[in-house]
């Protein structure tokens, strides 16, 4: 399975000629849905879901998401299916399990929205905007590294709780170049401490998992 990092919180997975995209939001500038067979969406915030992108996609596209997002995608031609914590399904040849129910607390005046994380092929876990700890081993973690709901110490604690063999930065478009340098340093320190491959992939960079 090949993982490619796209802008901010979006990644693209390819395996056996099939393509699975996670969280193609408004910050994702590339045509990430070209050739996509399935999409996973963790929650309703615009940096994770862009309805216009989905409206322009193929009617054959399979979309899996939480109930709150599905309710907003009634004009999308693709097949939208609701998933909840504990669900398992297969799409485009990928095996997926859902974990988690709620977004991390953000602003005191903002309601906590639904958020579901996805474990793909028992290999890659994408938590969305939450620090969900699945009750299974996580070989590869997409770790959020920036956002108004996240502290550095929480990110480090999450890595030390999950203890993945590999972890790659996500949710990082809000940083300047200086900030991204700090992210690189924090992840390098944790990589050395845990003896794991923990780092930030550049936008467009790919790596092979499994």
Model confidence over 91-117: pLDDT tens digits?
Answer: 999 999 999 999 999 999 999 999 999
pLDDT in tens, 44-84: 999 999 999 999 999 999 999 999 999 999 999 999 999 99
pLDDT at residue number 30:
83
DSSP state of 112: P
pLDDT in tens, 152-164: 999 999 999 999 9
Average pLDDT over residues 134-159: 97
* pLDDT tier at 29, thresholds 50, 70, 90: confident
CA distance 31 to 38: 14
pLDDT at residue number 196:
98
CA distance 117 to 119: 7
Answer yes or no: is pLDDT of 195 > 90: yes
Query: In Å, how far are 38, 46, 188 from 162, measured between CA atoms?
Result: 27, 27, 17
What rounded mean pLDDT belongs to the chain?
Answer: 97
Answer yes or no: is pLDDT of 210 > 90: no
Is the pTM higher than 0.85?
yes
What's the distance, Cα to Cα, between the start and end of the chain in Å?
Answer: 7
Average pLDDT over residues 115-125: 98
Average pLDDT over residues 1-27: 98
35-39-44 Cα angle (round to 5) = 135
CA distance 26 to 54: 11
Average pLDDT over residues 13-27: 98
Query: In Å, how far are 129, 181, 198, 210 from 41, measured between CA atoms?
Result: 11, 28, 24, 23
pLDDT at residue number 73:
97
Residue 131 near residue 156, CB atoms below 8 Å? no
CA distance 57 to 148: 30
pLDDT above 90 coverage of the chain, percent: 99
* pLDDT tier at 202, thresholds 50, 70, 90: very high
pLDDT above 70 coverage of the chain, percent: 100
């Amino acid at each position: 399975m090949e993982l490619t990092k796209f802008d901010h919180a979006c990644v693209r997975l390819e395996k056996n000629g099939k393509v699975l995209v996670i969280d193609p939001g408004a910050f994702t500038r590339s045509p990430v849905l070209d050739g996509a067979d399935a999409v996973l969406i963790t929650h309703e915030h615009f940096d994770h879901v862009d309805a216009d992108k989905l409206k322009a996609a193929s009617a054959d596209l399979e979309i899996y998401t939480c109930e709150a997002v599905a309710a907003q995608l009634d004009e999308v031609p693709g097949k939208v299916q609701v998933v909840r914590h504990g669900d398992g399904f297969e799409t485009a040849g990928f095996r997926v399990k859902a974990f988690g129910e709620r977004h991390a607390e953000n602003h005191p005046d903002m309601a906590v929205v639904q958020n579901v994380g996805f474990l793909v092929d028992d290999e890659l876990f994408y938590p969305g905007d939450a620090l969900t700890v699945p009750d299974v081993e996580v070989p590869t973690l997409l770790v959020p590294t920036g956002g108004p709901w996240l502290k550095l110490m929480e990110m480090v604690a999450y890595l030390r709780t999950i203890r993945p063999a590999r972890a790659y930065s996500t949710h990082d478009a809000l940083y300047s170049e200086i900030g991204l340098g700090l992210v690189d340093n924090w992840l390098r320190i944790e990589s050395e401490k845990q003896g794991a491959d923990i780092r930030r992939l550049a936008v467009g960079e790919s790596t092979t998992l499994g």
